[in-house]
Structure 1
Amino acid sequence: MADALPATLGPLLRAARERLAAAGLDDPALDARLIVEHFSGTTRTQAIAEPGQKVGSAALSDIEAALRRRVAGEPVHRILGYREFYGLRLSLSPETLEPRPDTETLVDAVLPFARATADRLGECRILDLGTGTGAIALALLSAVPAATATGVDISPDALATAAGNARNLGLGGRFKALHSNWFEKVSGRYHLIASNPPYIPVGDIENLQDEVRDFDPRQALDGGADGLDPYRFIAAEAVGFLEAQGKVAVEIGHTQKSDVTGIFAAAGYRLAGVHRDLGGNDRVLVFERGTP
């Protein structure tokens, strides 16, 4: 039985950190702070300036439950119910992939193009395939006021989450959630088609980190036998939905650059940009239609 948590803020933070550290978690100090602040409604400044501040019994009970979930392996942001992405707070749900910093690379890669398109045309129409929480589309909308986006997902739960995130961020008027299997229900043409598709070979899913394997939705991970099926779908179908000067941007696994480039080249695209994540891995490829 775990010791009862202290009812004052400073000792509570220490006790939470020690419990997570004893469980061998990678970043117990950060996880403890996120959990305590979220469920107690306090800030880091208060913890420093007012370590003797009392924490109510209901908050202590919530913190105790959250610590147990974290010790059992559940990711901290799943417990909190949200994650920050590109400066935006995005709610999570069981059928959404937890957006991660690597995917911010995709936003960085296409943001100049989206801005330039909006400046030139007065608009930039974006299609986000497999939108999940809406992370990619909403980050671009927040940065490009003239842009609009359609977020496509096969999961109604994910679409409801994305639409809710759009409303909460004041972007609901420029974001449309569309239930579709890839391009099946999509209509119109877009200046930018973006996707962080499932790209894990199905045989490798069991070898992923526990936090990914056990808590991210399987259909957001499974890229088929070789992890490349979604890129084949996108490369084959995107031309029917892409404006003449448009671009297609995809996140990839760090070993997939050559294979994905080949798939798009065979479909008539040329590689217009390669972008690396914070770890120095190839993470995002940007394509445009090759000249005939």
Structure 2
Amino acid sequence: MIIDVTTRNMNVLECFSSETRVRIIELLNEKPYNIGELAEALGLSSAIITKHIQKLEEAKIVFTENTVGKRGTQKRCSLNVDKMTLVLRTVEEEKPRSQSGFTVDLPVGQYIRYKVQPTCGLASSVKRIGMMDDPRYFDDPERTTAEHLWFAIGFVEYRIPNYLVGQETASCLTISLEICSEAPYYNENYPSDITFSINNMDVATWTCPGDFGSKRGQYTPDWWVDTQYGLLKVLSVTDEGTFIDGVRFSDVRIHQLNIKPGQELLFRISCPEPGSGANSGGVSLFGKNFGNYPQDIRVTVAV
């Protein structure tokens, strides 16, 4: 696991500020433990251990699963990663540049355009929005409260606020979001070729491996029973090309997007129709109150 030392990754970095959490990692290095066993080994209550495990699980350092024990169901804890590399200075940051720019969070329901086909729908943190598999409800005024949306074919498009001023031009655009495929109910082996476009230019197509639902999402409401969470992907367009999670996906460079003050900045997420030769596995998006990551679609523009 490679982690940039930034405020965006505080949920991971904070895991090592607690002696108790570090001792938990030491124990799990030996073998899996359940909550009760950890509590006994550390001389703490199960309630306290549970809170620490939730923090470690949120950071993807620990994996938990419910298993049958001698006294009913127990939560079994295991290490989820073997190594972690902290990156204090990235390649882009080595270059002199202005420290100005901006970051905005876009709720998943605040798209400005869409064209979707079933299976499709929207849900807030408290209820489904409209009827399932009826694209008309993507126009429902309540869509702006959506924390989760999904569609089998089509696209959603967002307008990113453009706060550039004067003669500023973008040197780097970064978009992070929680996303996965869309299968009826869920199917963790369900590849989908998802294309990201900025200002009507396709910058990268990423194949998501599936639609995840066998384990509950960290922030998914208890009443929700279908898709539980996605993968956190980080899309970056720089003067060197377009990258997803640091891996080069295309030669599209930031200057080709023509991001300047006063000009519209659009971000589209799309999935092809069946028969196109691509994996038509749909799209599911998650907001800060759904899935495994407490964030909406986060956009950072550096100048």
Q: What is the TM-score of this pair, normalised by structure 2?
A: 0.26
Structure with the larger helix share: 1
Structure with the larger strand share: 2
